[in-house]
Structure 1
């Protein structure tokens, strides 16, 4: 067991990983960005199409809200992008553990939709969303805190699937393990995420171009955070997820 790395050390680990391999990292992280753009374009196209046909809907006595199509398209592309980002985080974790590994941008980004990972990831997504919403209904702050507690569940699931082979891995156990792993580390993770806000503002001001570098940097740092936790924290399994 070593020592917990501070924010600067985690970021240095990420930068060292990316040194000389930014092109691969950028291509890997472009997939969800492009998908979001395409999803928004399709949604806007659908809205425009139905706006042209408003007269037809009026004639047959139907009401159509074009914003519903846009919202549906945005939500769908947002969820898919979130799943792709999880797959990308899996790749960064493997990359940190094996710095010389070959990166296959499309295959690696879409690995989350394989039989090995999809169902468990979906269950974790549903459960953590429900748990976080329930805590948010009490007060907003507990919901935010719980979102940090559950933040490592996907990477825990990935590690467990690698070790278990074809055996089933409990999504609830992964959430529980994340909650225990994050005891005493939620504030660190919050500050780590907060440290990228300045770069995010600059990326927005650059019309999004800056995200080509920011997303790989942030995702690599978050994977380094998890890797450091697993190397230093002791935790056991329990079904006390909520």
Structure 2
């Protein structure tokens, strides 16, 4: 099992890369930032309105759970969100590796909306969703564990495509390689994500303003986690599948 850099070292590299370039980092992450801020403000407003409405008798509590729609639209939003998040992750990974910031924040955000990425990432999203769904049917915990196992799938596809090795792999191979790569490292990723909890709470308390800096920071650290874990495993043309 590979020995990784510490959480502090991963974060330090991201902060060093962003130093003097936080504007670009924020620009690349602007859509998830806006989404997070609206979520915080929206949820707060919804809770306040609901409480007032219930107390004044304007809303019948028995009708609050009546809802038929949302599933299809929710899936579409989830897919689009995944595409944007993956594009951001790809752009940040390149930035962290080369030290060269993306020329355009907009192009960086929508990097996956291209011929080489869109369909493959969509297929990988569907495969991951199906796998995680069936694991969750067993119990919630196995589903969560498998989500960590498959968490590096999109990154692996990017590197294999760039190195030309994607021709020897099918879509299931990327999921399998992610599972193998994360063996023994799932808890490390969990703890790394947990280390941002305090900052996330503070960001919520500032009505989402803190997310302006926190989201680019988290996304950068997640990309750096993969960069450190995978190394040149998938960019090296000598890589061979062991299955």
* Stretches of structure 1 lacking an aligned partner (at least 5 in a row): 42-64
Q: Which residue number in structure 2 is paired with residue 60 of structure 1?
A: none
- Identify which of 232, 237, 240 aligns with 2:241: 237
Residue 148 of structure 1 is matched in structure 2 by 148
What residue number does 1:94 align with? 94
Q: Secondary structure at the match of 1:111?
A: coil
Q: Deviations over 1:121-174 (max 9, x none)?
A: 111111111111111111211111110000001000011111128947522111
Whole-angstrom CA distance in 2 between matches of 1:148 and 1:236: 23
- How many aligned positions are there? 213
The residue that corresponds to 1:115 in the other structure is 115
**RMSD over equivalenced CA pairs, Å:** 2.8
Query: 2: CA distance between counterparts of 1:170 and 1:127?
Result: 12
Aligned residue for 1:112, secondary structure, equals: coil
In the TM superposition, residue 107 of structure 1 has moved relative to its aligned partner by 0.8
Q: Deviations over 1:183-231 (max 9, x none)?
A: 1100000000111111111111111111110111001101111010112
Range that drifts further, 138-147 or 150-159: 138-147
1:69 offset after TM fit, Å? 5.4
Distance 2:73 2:189 in 1: 31
CA distance in 2, matches of 1:163, 1:16: 27
Shift of 1:32: 3.6
Residues 149 and 21 (structure 1), Cα distance of their counterparts in 2 relative to 1, 3 Å cut: same
Compared CA separation, residues 24 and 148, structure 1 to 2 (3 A): same
Q: Distance between the aligned counterparts of 1:211 and 1:233, measured in 2?
A: 33
Q: 1:73 to 1:90 in 2, by over 3 A?
A: same
* 1:67-97 C-alpha deviation (Å, 9 max, x unpaired): 5556654543343122201110000110011
Confirm or deny: 8 A CA contact 2:153 2:177 kept in the other structure. Answer: yes
Q: What secondary structure is seen at the aligned counterpart in 2 of 1:11?
A: helix
TM-score normalised per structure 1? 0.78
Deviates more, 1:181-190 or 1:226-235: 226-235
Q: Is the 8 A contact 1:87 1:108 kept in 2?
A: yes
Structure 2: runs of 5+ lacking an equivalent: 43-64
TM-score, normalised to structure 2, is 0.78
Give 1:31 shift: 2.3
For the structure 1 residues 71 and 138, does the alpha-carbon distance in structure 2 shift closer, same or farther, using more than 3 Å as the test? closer
Q: Displacement of 1:99 after TM fit?
A: 0.7
